[in-house]
Structure 1
Amino acid sequence: MKILLIFILHLISGGAAGIDVIGFPGGRVTISCNYDDYGRAKTHICKMKTQTECEYITVIKYEQCNTWIQKDRFDIINDCSRALTVTIRQLSSEDAGTYQCGEVGRWSHQFNLQVIRDPCCLGPRTVFGHLGETFTISCSYPEQFERHSKYFYKLDGHRIPTMIDTTETQRGRFSISDDRSSKVVSVRISDVREDDGGVYYCAVLSGGDSVSYYSLYTETQLQVTEKSTTGTPDSTNTIIVCVCVALLLLLIGGLISPAVCDYEEIKDRKPQSDSKSTPRYAAVQPPTISSDPLNSVYATARHPTVPSDPPNPVYATAQLPTIPSDPLNSVYATAQHPTVPSDPPNLVYATAQLPTIPSDPLNSVYATAQHPTVPSDPPNLVYATVELPTMPSDPPNPVYATVQ
């Protein structure tokens, strides 16, 4: 139940018009009502309803000296020697108004609390610092506080001890600077420790002899953590990019190297010893490489394994594409081969899959004819399927063998 106190202000000794106390939504103010003459009577803090009516917030007895009394968002203490102090937490616009503090019949002071909304002071925030590092907490302040001394407090229960203020630049591990041009006060904490974590306030001191106050306008929750040992996102991304580039280079190298080795120029071959026999031609289907001669012929190496063949044989698969500059019915063989260690580098072979006839010259070239067997012929007769295209440089009626 609210208790109303009726005052006739002009009869109270020490009555005054009061000073303006400035606070901000979500912040707090700590007001000290200073006095010299304490008569051990009850002291009080109340909010004026009218010019003569004041609503008690609390009344403090002499026996409660130096004891914190909490009433809703109000914390009050009387040291019974020089000051009655009241702190209002979590300020709101409803807290604005005129207050009175004093001792009945002996002294009283008034102050006008203004709760101002300003972009500089928009409520609590949380920041993170790492053990052993230096961390800076910065607070903007309103223009009306530009010439005031700035303070940096740490909340400790009902107490709010001063860590440092702008009357000095260094106090232990704390240093402070005030940039009045940008209206920012900054506090640096070096060698951050675990017990540095907690709630801090930036504040100003203002007022006069009878009433003075601290306006705590920015609340900062500092959380102290171990320094992360994992890589930062930038370093992780750098490692990933390096690995990707390395893999890409290896892949490109693997694709280019075989291609350089596989494309070799192959000249059309004719039989060397059997000059009277029918000419036989084998041509390969080439890709186009700008640095090679116009009609260079390339063979693409491939080598399946036939158990009865030598360890590294090379096979040629016959294909019949059309190259505009070649004769009408030229036969092409796509060479596919492994590397024989004893041969010169990048040598390309086209090996016919034929049996060896002892009576033929050493370097004869054969074409394996894929024909059905004629019952009346000898058991192992070999056939050649002849085709009769016309090549200007050959004898009038040459016979050609289609190589497979």
Structure 2
Amino acid sequence: MESTLLLFVLSLGIGGCWGFAVEGYAGSSIIIKCKYKDEHRDQNKYFCKDDAIGGKYLCDTQIQTEGNKGWQTKGRFSLYDNTDGGFLKVIMRNLTKSDEGKYWCGVQKTFLDDYTEVNLKVKEGKEEVYRVSGYVGDDITIKCKYEDTNKHKSKYLCKNTAVGCEDRIRTDRKDQWESRDRFSLYDDTTGGFFMINITKVTEEDYGTYWCALDEPPSNDSKVSVDQFKTIQLDVHTGSPVVLPVSMTIVVLGFGIVFFICVMCQKRRGREPSFNHSGTVQDNDRARAPTDGVYEEIQDTSISVYALAQLPTNPSCDPTYSTVQLHTSPGGDPSYSTVQLPADPSEDPGYASGTFQKIPSSETS
């Protein structure tokens, strides 16, 4: 591994030595940004780890630019020189405790390099990965929440590739849609989230994404860290298994017919009569309360159960008539009347009856 000799003058260094603390979690990644001077835009940059052994101040270079203005990748490190923003962007992946220590964002110069000190601390923890899935051709929506203190920051979505994390879309617009190709982003500052839409998903969209808050470094704070959430997008080929509509109708029809037949068979040959407690009984034997469907009516002084056994299809047995209960609160709350045909003489099989609510003191 290449090493860079660091020269110090009065412990600060002529090139400028600024120490900034950053934190990451074991097993996850971290995005570090280092600000540099405008006049250094065309210089090569590097990111190295301090290796002060035997009194020699050496810095093991982890990754560096080589005249290429795009992403550079080496092992677990990726680097991007943002000349427009005037900062160096470094990604460290799969952090371990051994990654802790002092690093330098450096700018190569003829005599003395300009550098910024970064102190990395790695904490124990586990990276949360949010999984989103869809089929080729689907439209997919990803929603990322953020704290109210971050509403002023720019938002972006990038995809992790072999060379780095490449932007798919980003915006600094608030409460407005931003579109780029098949990607759209809306920053809802009121709801505290930003939403990304991906239309007509392809197999190439499969992979790991970061929905992130952009935290650019400044002249006052030369080092910053972007906050992000990890999204795993799974894209499936083919289409979801859907039962054909015709088959669904046939199955549903058979089920309804079967249910009606069963209910008619249970009702056939039995005629209900009502006792004074308001429960339905067979002519041959009393039915246990657990045989029916109960509805409990709550009142300040009473608790009454009413059991109704009515046919699913009244046409299956013509000896039944419809039971109608009072719905008007102004009626007598103690009784409900069975409505019978206008002329009872037409069918001698009908009988009249009444329901009476029994006070709770008498039902025990």
Which TM bucket (shorter chain)?
Answer: 0.5 to 0.7
Query: How high is the TM-score relative to the length of structure 1?
Result: 0.49
Q: Match of 1:27?
A: 29
Q: Match of 2:158?
A: 153
Q: Match of 2:218?
A: 208
What displacement does 1:19 show? 4.2
- The match for 1:65 among 60, 67, 72 is 67
What displacement does 1:214 show? 5.7
The 8 Å contact of residues 31 and 212 in structure 1, kept in 2 or not, is answered as yes
The answer as to 2:113 corresponding to 1:106 is yes
**1-side partners of 2:179 and 2:142: how far apart?**
15
**2-side partners of 1:128 and 1:175: how far apart?**
18
CA 65–186 in structure 1, closer or farther in 2 if over 3 Å, else same: same
What displacement does 1:29 show? 0.9
CA 131–239 in structure 1, closer or farther in 2 if over 3 Å, else same: farther
- The match for 1:74 among 73, 77, 102 is 77
CA 23–174 in structure 1, closer or farther in 2 if over 3 Å, else same: farther
Secondary structure of the residue aligned to 2:201 is coil
- The match for 2:92 among 88, 92, 98 is 88
Equivalent runs, 1:256-335 vs 2, <5 Å: none
What displacement does 1:149 show? 1.8
Equivalent runs, 1:152-231 vs 2, <5 Å: 152-168=157-173, 169-172=177-180, 173-180=182-189, 183-206=192-215, 207-209=217-219, 211=222, 215=226, 217-225=228-236, 226-231=238-243
What displacement does 1:199 show? 2.0
- The match for 1:56 among 51, 57, 60 is 60
Residue 15 of structure 1 aligns with an amino acid whose one-letter code is: G
The answer as to 2:260 corresponding to 1:249 is yes
**2-side partners of 1:220 and 1:22: how far apart?**
21
CA 96–141 in structure 1, closer or farther in 2 if over 3 Å, else same: farther
Q: More strand per residue: 1 or 2? A: 2
Larger radius of gyration: 1
Query: How high is the TM-score relative to the length of structure 2?
Result: 0.53
Secondary structure of the residue aligned to 2:165 is coil
The 8 Å contact of residues 118 and 223 in structure 2, kept in 1 or not, is answered as no
The 8 Å contact of residues 50 and 58 in structure 2, kept in 1 or not, is answered as yes
Residue 91 of structure 1 aligns with an amino acid whose one-letter code is: L
CA-atom RMSD in angstroms: 4.6
**2-side partners of 1:242 and 1:215: how far apart?**
58
> Once the two structures are superposed, what CA deviation does each residue of 1:343-394 show, in whole Å capped at 9, x if it has no partner?
xxxxxxxxxxxxxxxxxxxxxxxxxxxxxxxxxxxxxxxxxxxxxxxxxxxx
**1-side partners of 2:18 and 2:203: how far apart?**
47
**1-side partners of 2:179 and 2:207: how far apart?**
18
> Once the two structures are superposed, what CA deviation does each residue of 1:294-336 show, in whole Å capped at 9, x if it has no partner?
xxxxxxxxxxxxxxxxxxxxxxxxxxxxxxxxxxxxxxxxxxx
> Once the two structures are superposed, what CA deviation does each residue of 1:72-112 show, in whole Å capped at 9, x if it has no partner?
41224669997654321123455444321222613222234
CA 147–24 in structure 1, closer or farther in 2 if over 3 Å, else same: farther
The 8 Å contact of residues 76 and 84 in structure 1, kept in 2 or not, is answered as yes
- Give unmatched runs, 5+ long, in structure 2: 271-282, 286-364
Question: Percent identity between the aligned chains?
Answer: 23
Residue 187 of structure 1 aligns with an amino acid whose one-letter code is: I
CA 252–45 in structure 1, closer or farther in 2 if over 3 Å, else same: closer
Equivalent runs, 1:105-124 vs 2, <5 Å: 105-113=112-120, 122-124=127-129
The 8 Å contact of residues 153 and 172 in structure 2, kept in 1 or not, is answered as no
CA 24–218 in structure 1, closer or farther in 2 if over 3 Å, else same: farther
Q: Match of 1:372?
A: none
CA 249–98 in structure 1, closer or farther in 2 if over 3 Å, else same: same
Secondary structure of the residue aligned to 1:249 is helix
Secondary structure of the residue aligned to 1:161 is strand
CA 177–18 in structure 1, closer or farther in 2 if over 3 Å, else same: farther
**2-side partners of 1:124 and 1:184: how far apart?**
17
**2-side partners of 1:256 and 1:39: how far apart?**
90
**1-side partners of 2:80 and 2:284: how far apart?**
95
**How many pairs does the alignment contain?**
256
- Give unmatched runs, 5+ long, in structure 1: 261-287, 291-404
